[in-house]
Amino acid sequence: MIIVHHLNNSRSQRILWLLEELGTPYDIVKYQRMEGLPLAPPELKEVHPLGKSPVITDGGLTLGESGAIIEYIVERYGNGRLVPAAGTSEKLRYNYWLHYAEGSIQPMLLMKLIFDRIEKAPMPFFARPIAKAISRNTKSSFIEPNIKRHLDYMEAELGKTRWFSGDEFTAADVQMSFPLEAATARGGLDSRWPSLMGFLKHIHERPAYKRAIERGGEYQLLR
């Protein structure tokens, strides 16, 4: 039986959602972020040395990294569902978005989170104006233009097909849900990008998505 090591308000929510879409039985071990911090509790390091979520265990296997977990689950339990056929252009797009989510857009959103927090962090009064100036300059010259470029790019791509890989819903859409949800919380994503907002609306209506939220509990993405 798959066990999902699930951190509240985190990326591991999409693994629960994928398992619900496939109807694959699973158990959850829940972890709470540390009081007042975005960090995972130390117990997660007992499951995987990096102490990040998601991590799954399945029999003797322990596997981290959302994309690798998604590939494992669809290959082992999907019976061909939620993955386009090998050799098709949809499969290429599927691979692309599966990697893009964590490799390209998510680092920008993480930088946004960190620099926003630097501005609010406790520090000696004389350091605050300097810290704020560095943070604001980094955000306006690098992070925010990059996030906007990514949003425009994803909007254009999603304007071509109903889902990220093509006209069928796939596990790449599950993987892409988290950066888009994080972008609404802290990346400025709003109705200026109607295809992306439409995507979020459609996934939030899916019964499996709702079941995963019920099982996973709290899901308020960090700002």
Q: What is the nearest approach in angstroms of ligand GSH to the Cβ of residue 130?
A: 27
Pairs from 181-186 (Cβ < 8 Å, separation ≥ 24): 181/221, 182/106, 182/109, 182/221, 182/222, 183/105, 183/109, 183/147, 183/151, 184/221, 185/221, 185/222, 185/223, 186/109, 186/112, 186/113, 186/116, 186/221, 186/222, 186/223
Signed CA dihedral, 16, 212, 106, 84: sign only:
positive
Q: Which is nearer to ligand GSH, 7 or 19 (CB)?
A: 7
Q: Which residues contribute to the site for ligand GSH (CB under 6 A)?
A: 7, 10-11, 39-40, 52-54, 64-66, 102
Q: Which is nearer to ligand GSH, 7 or 22 (CB)?
A: 7
- CB nearer to ligand GSH: give 50 or 130: 50
Q: Shortest approach of ligand GSH to residue 178 CB, angstroms?
A: 8
Nearer to ligand GSH, 166 or 178 (CB): 178
Pairing status of strand 61-64 against strand 55-58: antiparallel
Nearer to ligand GSH (CB atom), residue 53 or residue 170: 53
Task: Give the number of other Cβ atoms within 10 Å of residue 103's Cβ.
Answer: 11
Nearest approach, Cβ of residue 40 and ligand GSH (Å): 4
Q: How far is the CB of 104 from ligand GSH (least distance, A)?
A: 12
Q: Measured from the CB of residue 192, what is the shortest distance to ligand GSH in angstroms?
A: 25
